[in-house]
Amino acid sequence: MGFKHEPFILWKLPYYFFIRVCGLLAYLSILSYLTVWLHRLRGTKIGKGVFIGHYVGIDDVRPDLVELEDKVGITCGTLILTHRFDMTKYTPGMAAMDIPYEFAKVKIEEGAFIGHQCIILPGVTIGKGSIIGANSVVTSDIPPYSVAVGSPAKVKYRLFESPPKPNENVSLSEL
Ligand SMILES: CC(C)(COP(=O)(O)OP(=O)(O)OC[C@H]1O[C@@H](n2cnc3c(N)ncnc32)[C@H](O)[C@@H]1OP(=O)(O)O)[C@@H](O)C(=O)NCCC(=O)NCCS
């Protein structure tokens, strides 16, 4: 997925404050229903039956660039980022924290599961029904129905010999 730039806009400050407060409440919430509701309020696109555990962080600058499809599970302590430094703008004498950001979408497809304490980096798509092992750092796309682990996360094995057809319903209990 491509990265885009966005200038800092002063009149957006109340919006940034709002998404941070909602993000903090969602981070501490132990009721998944409330957590999902707060993240939707921040602009994150969240499908039906999604589970989000406590201490899950969704980007504090552009949470609206995250899409979680139906029946996605995200367990405690995971962080999903949609912004990163644009390293082409780093010049000598500049403080690293002053490097401008670039943004990209994160999409977690239907029925995928993210284990404890993972970090999902900007621009990544995690395929339908895939499982990410605990403490993994996902830096690139993960194909559907794969088990991926480690930092950077690599596909350990595929769950099915041939991928299911588009309308074939595969329940999580089969994985
Ligand atoms: C990812 C997962 C599904 C893999 O299950 P599995 O296929 O039964 O895994 P195994 O234990 O057989 O391990 C397979 C390989 O992956 C490695 N592996 C498993 N999880 C790993 C992880 N989180 N990080 C790095 N490597 C991992 C194992 O060391 C093993 O490697 P090897 O083949 O070189 O020996 C499982 O580890 C899991 O459920 N993780 C999520 C844990 C979690 O977040 N639980 C909270 C749920 S609410």
Cα 47–chain centre separation: 14
CA–CA separation, 7 and 86 (whole Å): 13
- Contact 137 CB / ligand 1 (< 6 Å): no
pLDDT of residue 175: 47
Residue 113 CA: nearest ligand 1 atom is 41
Cis peptide before 152 (omega within 30 of 0): yes
Determine which residue's CA is closest to atom 27 belonging to ligand 1.
149
Ligand 1 center from residue 159 Cα (angstroms): 13
- Contact 147 CB / ligand 1 (< 6 Å): yes
CA–CA separation, 120 and 146 (whole Å): 16
CA–CA separation, 42 and 16 (whole Å): 10
- Contact 135 CB / ligand 1 (< 6 Å): yes
Over 60: is that where the pLDDT of 110 sits? yes
All domains in the chain, ordered by first residue: 11-87+99-158 (2.160.10.10)
User: Whole-prediction pTM value?
Assistant: 0.88
pLDDT of residue 148: 98
Cis peptide before 143 (omega within 30 of 0): no
41-59 average pLDDT score: 97
Contact in structure between 154 and 169 (CB atoms under 8 Å): no
**Summary mean pLDDT of the chain:** 91
Report the share of the chain in percent with pLDDT over 90.
81
